[in-house]
Amino acid sequence: MRVGVLGMLVAAWLRVPLVVAVSTNTTGMAEHYSAARVITTMLPKLGLLLLRSGRARRRMFSGSSALSGEGTLSERLAAHAVLAIQGDARELVMLAGKTVDGYADEELLAKVNVLPAGIDPLPPAPVPAAVRWPETSLRALYVGRYSREKSLPLLLDGVRAARDRGVDLHLTMVGEGHMHEELERRARDLGIADRVTLTGPFPRHELRGIYESADLFVFPSVVDTQAFVLNEAAHAGLPLLVSDGRVNPVVRADESAVVVAHSPEAFAHGFERLCDGRLRDALGAQARQYAAAFTEAGQTAHLESILRRAINRRALTAPSLLHPPEQLAAVRPVRTTDHGREQAGSRSE
């Protein structure tokens, strides 16, 4: 957030083209925090931008559908602020199609490009000595922050419900965060401390062995905008168990993933379904195939097209210090869908 606001401020100050990549679901995150927390977190960082950018200032202090729409006060304040500060952008890059939902403003919608990030397979690595799975029939893995918006208490409740259904399951959680002790305490209170291990974090280059040691990857968050760990798990051939079917293009219900409702009972049912080894193999193979379609080189090339279009748009309206108009080649407009297909002309998601 700090770096992003600094970039917006510099762009406004120097009057250079701005492309904004939306990598955080600010509205979804706000659901887990108070309105006071949202205000005190965002306003100090945005104050300078509002002072420098007339467009952002006008949008901030005018009404918007976000401000008067549904949701808690925290969510509406966050959504309004995000729409305001992105008003200076020549192009907006969204990592997932679901992120577009909050952009009812036609001016902003016209700038939206849905472009998932490219994630290549992790380098080969052994299973770290600190990761030891007990003898169970089903090994479930979570990798990510231990933070409230990830819905981890709900996941633990799902493990308990699965145990009560007779599922022989162990969950290993790899990460770090402020909820570490709370999650360990909850596992004890639920009577599943012997079925849950919190470990890590590990350097990214050591993660592949951990993924490959598991039977499935579980990700209960519904506020992430792509969740790169889903790509990493898919590259390792793991079937995915999620509640958010729109979070990442590698997630396809009943093809690469089991998509369930956001409840402990639903996750328990998902674990139960994935006790079927043939189903896990089929979903995992398809997940690997989908992940292979989103390479770092390929998605970077799509992003380059968006950046060039932003520069070209600027060149048509004012002299550019970066690229004189006579040196700019025509750039074919690209609107990239969730599944990586290019579309010429207007946005069609």
Task: Label residue 278 by pLDDT band (50, 70, 90).
Answer: very high
Six-digit token pair at 291?
A: 């992940």
Length of the chain: 349
Task: Tell me: pLDDT of 237 over 80.
Answer: yes
Predicted confidence at residue 50, as pLDDT, reads 66
Q: Mean of the pLDDT values across residues 49-77?
A: 65
How far is the first Cα of the chain from the last one, in angstroms, to the nearest whole number? 27
Domain boundaries of the chain, sorted by first residue: 2-118+295-344, 138-292
Phi and psi of 219, rounded to 5°? -145, 100
pLDDT at 301 over 50: yes
Classify domain 138-292 by CATH number: 3.40.50.2000
Q: What is the pTM of this model?
A: 0.78
Comparing 7-11, 26-30, 224-228, 304-308, the range with the smallest average pLDDT is: 26-30
What's the pLDDT at 48?
60
Spatial distance between the Cα atoms of 286 and 240, rounded to a whole number of angstroms: 10
Contact yes or no for 291/250 (Cβ under 8 A):
yes
Least confident of 1-10, 147-156, 279-288: 1-10
Q: Are 172 and 131 in contact (CB under 8 A)?
A: yes
User: Out of 10-19, 105-114, 318-327, which region has the weakest mean confidence (pLDDT)?
Assistant: 318-327
Kindly indicate the confidence band of residue 103, based on its pLDDT and cuts at 50, 70 and 90: confident
The torsion angle over the Cα atoms of residues 214, 216, 217 and 222, rounded to 10 degrees, is: -160
H-state helical runs in the chain? 2-14, 26-30, 35-52, 54-60, 65-68, 73-85, 106-109, 152-164, 180-189, 207-213, 228-235, 264-273, 277-292, 296-315
Instruction: Supply the pLDDT for residue 25.
Output: 62
Q: What is the model's pLDDT at position 63?
A: 60
Averaged pLDDT score across all residues of the chain: 82
Q: How confident is the model at residue 329 (pLDDT cuts 50, 70, 90)?
A: very low
Q: Which residue has the higher pLDDT, 167 or 35?
A: 167
CA–CA gap between residue 253 and residue 241 (Å, rounded): 9
Task: Report the C-alpha gap between 105 and 74 in whole angstroms.
Answer: 20
Question: 89 pLDDT band (50/70/90 cuts)?
Answer: confident
* pLDDT of residue 248 exceeding 50: yes
Distance CA 91, CA 97 (A): 15
pLDDT score, position 145:
95
Q: Is 10 or 320 the better-scoring residue by pLDDT?
A: 10
Question: pLDDT tier at 99 (50, 70, 90 boundaries)?
Answer: confident
pLDDT in the model for residue 64? 59
Residue 202: closest CA among 289, 148, 141, 290? 141
What pLDDT does 190 receive?
Answer: 98
